[in-house]
Amino acid sequence: MLVLVERRAYLILATLPCRVLPNTISSALQSFFPLLLLLLHPPARELPLSSSRSLVGFVDSDLFPPLLVIPSVCNFFFASIKIYGLQLQLQSPFFSLILFWEVVSSRRVFTRFLFSSIESQESGPKPPLPIMSAPATFYEQLPLPTLDRPFGIHLWPIFDKLFTAVVGYSANDFEFVPFETPMSTLKSTSIFIVIYYFIIFGGRELMRNREPFKLKALFLIHNFYLTAISGFLLALFIEQLLPTVVRKGIFFAICNHEGGWTQPLVVLYYLNYLTKYLELLDTVFLFLKKKPLTFLHCYHHGATALLCYTQLIGLTSVSWVPIILNLTVHVVMYWYYFQSARGVKIWWKEWVTRLQIIQFIIDLGFVYFASYTYFTSTYFPSMPNAGKCAGEEFAAFAGMGILSSYLVLFISFYFATYKKDGKTTTRKSLRRMSQAPLPDPVHMATYSSGKTNGTTTGAKTNSATARSRKA
């Protein structure tokens, strides 16, 4: 019986023992099995399994156990092989990767080859089987990045399966419908933000006379899943947008609904919007640990949820730029907090804030350009502009206003934290604003009472130089 063995099947069966078995056993196999081969299978016909032949061919398996292939192939692969146009060494880690990929990517069932029945040779000569065409090249089989598949594999089908398992329908069937989709109205968003501020202020009061909670395990889990979610969403955004940006240009991607507002992107915009409510737990951890609640932190969290809502309702194609940059920063930032909670010292702490500032500068460049293009093409067509830009006017104003405030506050925070000096300037006033603790009625009353008596309490609660996490 002649069994046609594909290149990948032959490679797996023939070379894995070479990698697994010790050198002494491999040497013994090389010495013993050729003799056994001659005893069990007299050379009536030339055996195709020699080191000088191609890996694609026929295997005469009348009395040919698969192990008999080990000696010649081990000898063939011992020094080096040339496969798919690449010269590889046997001991190379990349060669192990090739074997692994051949295993996971092969679709041929090997049991027919491993346990093929022994047929009698009385049936006469066997007709030759036609030579099959060579399999796909090595580069085509490996998950190498391409423009449409920047990470080597398509992530959207994987995401779609996860989405379907959680929601009950495919992500391709999702539609964002205002007043129908959850959290798609200004009322629901505003109520949630108000509840957020009520919880953090009320929680601070409840924790006033209590010992702080440790919550290390929960804090680690919180930062880890936010790192993972941000990273996965970032990869999905890149997969969706990279082909559009490369093929049709950046202007098409930020100003045309067909470029920056496709159905898959709307799904990702909505999920990114929902994660902003998940990130509000950052502040919950702060007051449970009795950490100071700074103006920058609390303002930023509430305003970001509102910002994402306005852009989602306003159909702004440019919104993917701030989102991608924000997700990139969040991967770095939450990973930093995760490692810090584990007790690992991170040398690049300052770069977290630097990345946030760079993010807002780039954000404002794109948002101001898109807004200028929209307003000039709509109301002042005689002014120079690049064309029409998609989006609603209220979303443009919300984006410009909130992002501009972020830039001012984060720059002031950066100088207050890493560039301290003794000069009294406007910059110093901005520092105090960014790191000022939120109003505390108890301490304000105590301080006011001390001033009335001509004294101060000396208490330094919620210090203006306290460090709090940003998002």
Dist. CA 252–CA 247, nearest whole Å: 10
User: What length is written for the chain?
Assistant: 471
Structure token pair of residue 396: 């443009």
Instruction: Give me the residue spans of the domains in the chain.
Output: 2-141, 174-444
Q: Which of 32, 19, 226, 5 is CA-nearest to residue 109?
A: 5
Q: Which of 418, 407, 403, 399 is CA-nearest to residue 465?
A: 418
Tokens 């909130």 belong to residue: 402
Tokens 């994987």 belong to residue: 158
- Partner residues linked to 57 by β-bridges: 5
Contact 81, 90 (CB under 8 A): yes
Tokens 């130089």 belong to residue: 465
The amino acid present at 50, given as its one-letter code, is: S
pLDDT in tens, the chain (471 residues): 333 333 333 333 344 444 444 444 444 444 444 444 444 444 444 334 333 333 333 333 333 333 333 334 344 333 333 333 333 333 344 444 444 444 444 433 333 333 333 344 444 555 555 555 555 566 566 778 889 999 989 999 999 999 999 999 999 999 999 999 999 999 999 999 999 999 999 999 999 999 999 999 999 999 999 999 999 999 999 999 999 999 999 999 999 999 999 999 999 999 999 999 999 999 999 999 999 899 999 999 999 999 999 999 999 999 999 999 999 999 999 999 999 999 999 888 889 999 999 999 999 999 999 999 999 999 999 999 999 999 999 999 999 999 999 999 999 998 888 876 555 454 454 445 445 555 454 444 444 444 444 444 343 444 434 444 554
Q: What does the DSSP assignment read for 125-177?
A: PPPPPPPPPP---HHHHTT---SS-TTSS-HHHHHHHHHHHHHSS-GGG----
Structure token pair of residue 404: 């501009």
What does pTM read for this prediction?
A: 0.65
Dist. CA 119–CA 2, nearest whole Å: 10
3-state DSSP assignment of residue 86: strand
DSSP state of 294: B
Neighbours of 441 (CB within 10 A): 9
Neighbours of 300 (CB within 10 A): 23
